[in-house]
């Protein structure tokens, strides 16, 4: 078990490194919210999901939807490290002719199951996927990561009600609760109040887990749920810019167009990650 946790921590380190390199090579992008979901992605793709990088459309695979599509750089790094496409492609992020656009596109990127970016829509897509598997009596699981600012979209709550009503136990939701969104903190923009209580009232089982706690994430996400269980929602108690102290301490790292000072600090973080193997 310890070796497995070490492997997952190393996977997360590699995802964080490649994500920083691709964004910094571009010079701008969604740093904060990409970094805050990296441990969750490492656990999903490194421990939990049934996948086949050599055959991205394998019918028996588990599905993943990144509803907060602006975290696409982290997903791309994860997919490249798993072998869906060459690692060198990460340097083409958001450039003309790339297979890695700013937000995920299932028609462009091997391994992407859903086109996302318009916030609120991805969770509805995930619900449709899960319902189709349930109706066809397939055992494919579906995982979906949403942003906490994304919960301002009313469509999310319609989807949550739909998921609970149809008892889509094969679908697991993860909320990236990093407490910030594009133009401020959640408390400043729209107070979320008690998210855990809200989701329980909507019919979910809720677990709150530190966003970088790989062992707890693995323990929560690995078990296959049955029809007697309610759908699971994992509230990721995360930090914007997670894993990079300089970015964690910025007032807002949602989207950065790098200043010379910021580039120097992030280059230091890249060097530290390159030198540090778990």
In the chain the domains, ranked by start, together with CATH numbers, are 2-275 (3.40.50.970)
**What percent of the chain has a predicted confidence (pLDDT) above 90?**
95
User: What global pTM score does this model have?
Assistant: 0.96
- Condensed to tens digits (0 to 9), the pLDDT of residues 178-191 reads 999 988 899 999 99
**What angle in degrees, to the nearest 10, is found between the helix axes of 260-275 and 2-26?**
150
Statement: residue 1 has pLDDT above 80 = no
Give the pLDDT confidence score for residue 223 in this predicted structure: 95
Give the pLDDT confidence score for residue 278 in this predicted structure: 54
Neighbours of 178 (CB within 10 A): 27
d(CA 278, CA 268): 18
Statement: residue 247 has pLDDT above 90 = yes
Statement: residue 276 has pLDDT above 90 = no
Cβ-contact 1, 214 below 8 angstroms: no
| Ramachandran area for residue 273 (φ above 0: left; ψ -120 to 50: alpha; else beta) | alpha
Mean pLDDT confidence for 194-217: 97
DSSP state, residue 151: G
Give the pLDDT confidence score for residue 80 in this predicted structure: 98
pLDDT band at 2 (very low <50, low <70, confident <90, very high): low
Statement: residue 34 has pLDDT above 70 = yes
Mean pLDDT of the chain: 96
Statement: residue 152 has pLDDT above 60 = yes
d(CA 150, CA 161): 16
Statement: residue 277 has pLDDT above 80 = no
Give the pLDDT confidence score for residue 183 in this predicted structure: 86
- Condensed to tens digits (0 to 9), the pLDDT of residues 91-125 reads 999 999 999 999 999 999 999 999 999 999 999 99
pLDDT band at 227 (very low <50, low <70, confident <90, very high): confident
Give the pLDDT confidence score for residue 182 in this predicted structure: 86
Mean pLDDT confidence for 64-71: 97
Distance of CA 15 to the CA centre of its chain: 12
Give the pLDDT confidence score for residue 70 in this predicted structure: 96
């Amino acid at each position: 078990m310890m070796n497995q946790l070490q492997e997952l921590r190393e996977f997360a380190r590699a995802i964080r490194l490649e994500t920083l390199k691709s964004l910094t090579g571009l010079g701008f992008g969604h740093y904060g919210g990409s970094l805050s979901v990296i441990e969750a992605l490492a656990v999903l793709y490194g421990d939990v999901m049934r996948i086949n990088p050599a055959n991205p459309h394998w019918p028996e695979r588990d599905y993943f939807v990144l509803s907060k599509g602006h975290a696409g750089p982290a997903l791309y790094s994860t997919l490249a490290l798993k072998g869906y496409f060459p690692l060198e492609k990460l340097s083409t992020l958001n450039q003309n002719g790339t297979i890695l656009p700013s937000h995920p596109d299932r028609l462009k990127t091997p391994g992407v199951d859903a086109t996302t970016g318009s916030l609120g829509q991805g969770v509805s897509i995930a619900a449709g996927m899960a319902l189709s598997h349930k109706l066809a009596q397939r055992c494919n699981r579906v995982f979906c990561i949403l942003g906490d600012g994304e919960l301002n979209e009313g469509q999310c709550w319609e989807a949550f009600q739909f998921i609970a009503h149809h008892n889509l136990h094969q679908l697991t939701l993860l909320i990236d609760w990093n407490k910030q969104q594009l133009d401020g903190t959640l408390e400043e923009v729209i107070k979320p109040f008690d998210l855990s209580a809200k989701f329980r009232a909507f019919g979910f089982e809720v677990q709150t887990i530190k966003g970088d706690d790989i062992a707890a994430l693995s323990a929560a996400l690995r078990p296959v749920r049955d029809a007697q269980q309610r759908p699971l929602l994992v509230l990721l108690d995360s930090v914007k810019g997670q894993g990079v102290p300089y970015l964690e301490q910025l007032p807002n790292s949602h989207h950065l167009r790098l200043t010379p000072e910021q580039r120097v600090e992030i280059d230091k973080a890249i060097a530290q990650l390159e030198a540090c193997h778990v």
